[in-house]
Amino acid sequence: MNNDHFHGKYEVELKYRLVSKANFLEVLNHIPHEIMLQDNLESDWYFDTPDKALYAQNKSLCIRKMEPSGIKLWIVKGPEADRCEATNINDEITAISMLKTMGYEVTLKAEKVRSIYFVGKFHITVDSLDGIGDFAEFAIMTDDELMLSTYKSELETLANRFGLTKVALQNKSYKQMIMEKYS
């Protein structure tokens, strides 16, 4: 398994709503792929300042814990739509405490069930969120800003192999979807 899939400061990502997760996985089973993890429970803590300065700057700060894999991440997205950086951490409880000590507040805690598959240089993430639905994210991380549009086209072609088209494309983040549903 190649962990280079998650290195880079840019992420090209296309998120599609799935009509049938079972049908999607059936197609995946007929395509050469590697399994990174299956059916992990992800807990995400999103942070912002009391005056919502990160939100105003189109930035997102998240601490993520994945079980049973034990992966723990510090994730920052924005301000550009494709900008995303993540790093492994050892202790999510201390990281959360440190952010609170610095004046950040938890603005949302969200959970989802996630599986990650590698298809060539791309990764496909299949997510289930209670009350929101099932989704597939086709993505690649890169440091090469000049490749963003090329990768987007390649990801669209890969998604088409699963029968996914622009009709199913989702432009909202999970955070946005959850906040809209429960606010």
Which positions are catalytic? Answer: 46
**Could you give phi then psi for residue 99, rounded to 5 degrees?**
-65, -40
Cβ neighbours of residue 83 closer than 8 Å, sequence gap 6 or more: 9, 10, 11, 77
Asked if residue 11 lies in contact with residue 82, where contact means CB atoms within 8 angstroms, the answer is: yes
Residues 6+ apart with CB under 8 A from 78: 54, 57, 58, 59, 60
CA distance 174 to 41: 15
Residue 125 CA to residue 8 CA, distance in Å, equals 17
The count of other CB atoms within 10 Å of the CB of residue 60 is 21
**Token pair listed for 61:** 């700060």
